[in-house]
Structure 1
């Protein structure tokens, strides 16, 4: 068992459809009303069937009051890190410290190239992501005197002005699956944000994936507990008990508690565009899961 002891977080993973245009905004409001902690959106700027995620995040910030929000995950190759850092800091200030950074190295390189982005091979995309995270943090750090400079292989920032500082220390969560990216997550990430259906061997993959994250953290003098672990999940609510995340809310809560205690996952984001699912997840599954995990930890 690997329980890193983090507080449990529950959220939604809403499809940012462009038609009807208000649908993802309405589901964000539902998520907040249901008591969920965070709402998130995938980021595919090359798909006209989806809204621009950054524009949507800004609009959702204005339509909500409490819930936090994040890209799940933002596409770094199409969002230059220095500009993204400034945008993130501004949105965090405007929202009262509710923005969280979910970031990925990119994929679908033909589509990225068609939008003017630089095509990278897998190894280079990992290096570029690490550089991008360093740049964002450097620009957010207004405690240092003078400008910020960075001369990397993929990004160069020659003496940019620092700031503005975000309203809170924006956590940077990395969407990663392969060993090299997982170790990067451990070295520089505040959190991890994969999707269950993309795990190579299903839920049991979390064990060896955590090992790579922990290895990366320890290699640079960090603790494994410095990295929170979130997971995008999907399933079905029903009266009859079925398999993993297929059954009544009580079963969901028990299964999520098992995953939290066995694999150290502390954040669970439901992939659903059904308001009823989001209500059940926030009002029934989340509080019951917290009770089960707290009892086991005690």
Structure 2
């Protein structure tokens, strides 16, 4: 298929996404905004902008992304990639969180350790050695994530500090961090810490990607992560015409070549560098749908992704995938270690939720015993992961799918629709899980109301037995429902997640 025949590596199973990478040319600012709006209208997922504050002909990246966010409704906006030496991580965290709130959860953050050091220094940044730049990037990622989680600043590192900071606002969704990495150490950081890897075709041609992906995968495994934790994005460039090289021919040629890169190497998001509306429209309306169709056919037939998804066929049964009837006595023997890492991670996240529930139970116990305040208990409940995330598929989506926050289009990228497309027999399972999510959300509200009632009880501070009993009942009901739900979800979706991934 196509001109790009590469060495084979596992297909990570991510759904394909497409975007545009316009030049932030200040002299053509109207055209840049119109191109971004066109991307929104024709259904691309990303508008991604480079960040070179020292480039006098370029618009400021955050200002441009803010205007793009205001003029669009669906497309996600991202930096590709931030010049970290000129963007202090606390300010960067606040900028990203603010824009995420304003756009309803449409921000993604690409990070770079720094390049072009002479202009960086001229713009007021510090010159760093390659090792120092990577160390600073690692520190910045920790500060970004703690800021977005609303954690008070306690970090005092070699390059950055947030000690004493009171962070805010909290973003509308979990902002993914992509890393622009080419060298071995940066690839290792990507595998350990990032949500995405974003190389550019000009610096990393397709034949170089397998070895780089392998370094990321190895680092991910050593950090206890699955390779699927890291989405593989790719900045591409080309032209439509009669050429025979990579991304030089017809839309069909492009689609075949991108399919090779997707199923053969694992890249799943293609961001096209173009300033031409006609090229963008062809890419969105012809190349993207045909590539999706070809990749789906490859995956359905086993194709070139067989190494990584050897057991991806749906069990021949009328029961929902993942049920005890289809699992067999030893279901794990049918899956590769990479496939099993996905449901295993679900259990890990659920274990976090169980521990979080234990913390809430302990603080409510302290309230009942008069050792702490109702305000402390309400604070604990309102910052629970399941409460913060508007969770879809439990808190699994905290790591594996985009949180639905205000734009129904994001629901199409969530895990339930993905699993239903892969196996419609899962509909009864998904329907039950959706209903249980609603019930548990209501039980959390009931628990909060019980705490409020406790404060308002005239007997509070002496006996207050009626309100205390109501509080205990509300907590017991939440505990019973939540623990039952988590166990059911793990059992019912185990095989489906191993077979089909997370979308």
The two structures share one fold, judged by TM-score above 0.5: yes
What CA distance in whole angstroms lies between the structure 1 residues aligned with 2:233 and 2:39?
A: 17
Q: Which has the higher strand share?
A: 1
What CA distance in whole angstroms lies between the structure 1 residues aligned with 2:33 and 2:111?
A: 21
State whether residues 16 and 50 of structure 1, in contact with CA within 8 Å, keep that contact through their aligned partners in structure 2: yes
State whether residues 17 and 23 of structure 1, in contact with CA within 8 Å, keep that contact through their aligned partners in structure 2: no
Matched residue, 2:176? 171
Q: Secondary structure at the match of 2:162?
A: strand
What CA distance in whole angstroms lies between the structure 2 residues aligned with 1:206 and 1:64?
A: 33
- Say whether residues 1:197 and 2:197 are aligned partners: no
What CA distance in whole angstroms lies between the structure 2 residues aligned with 1:74 and 1:95?
A: 19
Q: Secondary structure at the match of 2:163?
A: strand
Q: Secondary structure at the match of 1:71?
A: strand
Q: Secondary structure at the match of 1:251?
A: helix
Matched residue, 1:261? 263
Aligned length: 292
Which of 245, 270, 278 pairs up with 1:276? 278
What CA distance in whole angstroms lies between the structure 2 residues aligned with 1:81 and 1:19?
A: 29
Stretch moving more, 156-165 or 53-62: 156-165
What CA distance in whole angstroms lies between the structure 2 residues aligned with 1:133 and 1:141?
A: 12
- Say whether residues 1:162 and 2:139 are aligned partners: no
Deviations 1:171-205 (A, max 9, x none): 00000100000000011000001100111xx2111
TM superposition score normalised by structure 1: 0.96
Matched residue, 1:219? 222
What CA distance in whole angstroms lies between the structure 2 residues aligned with 1:77 and 1:59?
A: 24
Q: Secondary structure at the match of 1:246?
A: coil
Report which structure shows greater RCO (CA 8 Å, sep ≥6): 1
Q: Secondary structure at the match of 1:173?
A: strand
What CA distance in whole angstroms lies between the structure 2 residues aligned with 1:195 and 1:251?
A: 20
Q: Which has the higher helix share?
A: 2
Q: CA RMSD in A?
A: 0.9
Matched residue, 2:139? 131
The gaps in structure 1 that reach 5 residues or longer are none
Q: Larger Rg: 1 or 2? A: 2
- Say whether residues 1:30 and 2:38 are aligned partners: yes
Deviations 1:66-90 (A, max 9, x none): 1101011011110000111011111
Q: Secondary structure at the match of 1:278?
A: helix
Matched residue, 1:97? 105
Matched residue, 2:79? 71
- Say whether residues 1:88 and 2:96 are aligned partners: yes
- CA shift at 1:219, angstroms? 1.4
- Say whether residues 1:51 and 2:59 are aligned partners: yes
What CA distance in whole angstroms lies between the structure 2 residues aligned with 1:55 and 1:133?
A: 22
- CA shift at 1:42, angstroms? 0.8
What CA distance in whole angstroms lies between the structure 2 residues aligned with 1:241 and 1:255?
A: 13
The gaps in structure 2 that reach 5 residues or longer are 1-8, 301-503
Matched residue, 2:154? 149
Q: Secondary structure at the match of 1:232?
A: strand
State whether residues 43 and 52 of structure 1, in contact with CA within 8 Å, keep that contact through their aligned partners in structure 2: yes
TM superposition score normalised by structure 2: 0.57
- CA shift at 1:241, angstroms? 5.0
Matched residue, 1:242? 244
- Say whether residues 1:182 and 2:187 are aligned partners: yes
Deviations 1:212-268 (A, max 9, x none): 111111111111110000000001101x35111111101100110010011100000
Stretch moving more, 17-26 or 36-45: 17-26
What CA distance in whole angstroms lies between the structure 1 residues aligned with 2:55 and 2:272?
A: 22
